[in-house]
Amino acid sequence: MYHAMKQKEKLIILAGPTAVGKTALSIALAKELKGEILSADSMQIYQYMDIGSAKITEKEMDGVPHHLIDVLKPWQEFNVYSFQRMAKEAMNGIYERGRIPIVVGGTGFYIQALLYDIDFSSQETGGKLRAQLEEEAREKGCEYLYGKLCRVDPESAAAIHPHNQKRVIRALEYYEQNGETISMHNKREREKEAAYDSRYFVLNDTRERLYEGIERRVDAMMAEGLLDEVKSLREMGCERRMVSMQGLGYKELLSYLDGEITLREAVDAIKQNTRHFAKRQLTWFRRERDVIWVNKNEFHYNKEEILHYLSEQCRAKKSVPQ
């Protein structure tokens, strides 16, 4: 007996580097297409971390429902597995309401994990090996482990920050236990067919304008009280070893508060690290399949034209209810 294949659910993705202008465009797109926004941002998930994460305000939301924002405390664990699980739950509700999810953010690995429904079950190990690697990190520093990762899995090392101890350990652990690199596993998973009927947009700008936007954003964050936000988090007991406190803006200002650098040096470091981060984001998105690049300069920075183009692309593929 013939069984018809289950039709894939619709999904729209609006990605891009930090400070490129995704937030404002996503609101306009959600209104145009009757969508709800699902944040693919590894920092906006945390409460009390508003300024440094450039978190959207209720006023900016303008009535558009948002998901995966202000969900966890800064000391709670959050990673790609948590994101994938929470995002699927949120999307089920969006589909039930007859609306379309619009995934918005710059964390490319999170988006990839959702779009291709990557299987992480073989990566959840723990036990003696993890404890051993954690002990090595305590004794010799995370840089030592990162050096090991560079030797056995340079591809993963290129995508992981040298101080992101949890991800470094996870990649080494996977290699030791499975005899292959985690990057090879993830590559196989990426080659799977997408789990959704999607439109994947990457909003971009010229490097000069992108860097100018980063400069302005960091200055605005400092003026809005980012330093006081970091002080408040520290008073709550948040420490730099926490994943949340590794975020841009937070780790640099913690170094200032610990007397390691001056405030001027901290602000300059935030700007430089954010520029490097934007560069890494763009490198990631260029590797992805079936991406539609939306270069703002090609639309002469006309927001209505960009919105019209995105809407037409979605309707052409019937990625939205007609």
- Give the alpha-carbon dihedral of 46, 51, 55, 59, to 10 degrees: 130
pLDDT for residue 124 = 58
pLDDT for residue 3 = 44
Q: Which of 206, 165, 145 is nearest to 20 (CA)?
A: 206
**Other C-beta atoms within 10 Å of 321: how many?**
11
Strands (E), the chain: 10-15, 35-39, 66-67, 100-105, 197-204, 291-295
Amino acid identity, residue 317?
A: K
pLDDT for residue 186 = 75
Amino acid identity, residue 173?
A: E
**Could you tell me the pTM of the whole model?**
0.84
pLDDT for residue 2 = 40
Conformation bin of residue 126: beta by default, left when phi > 0, alpha when psi is -120 to 50? left
Amino acid identity, residue 36?
A: E
| Domains of the chain listed by start with CATH number | 10-118+192-316 (3.40.50.300), 122-186 (1.10.20.140)
Please give the chain's pLDDT, 322 residues, in tens: 344 457 899 999 999 999 999 999 999 999 999 999 999 999 999 999 999 999 999 999 999 999 999 999 999 989 899 999 999 999 999 999 999 999 999 999 999 999 999 887 765 556 788 888 988 888 888 889 999 999 999 988 888 878 788 889 988 988 988 889 988 887 787 677 899 999 999 999 999 999 999 999 999 999 999 999 999 999 999 998 898 999 999 999 999 999 999 999 999 999 999 999 999 999 999 999 899 999 999 999 999 999 999 999 999 876 565 5
Helix and strand numbers, DSSP H then E, in the chain: 14, 6
CA distance 23 to 25: 6
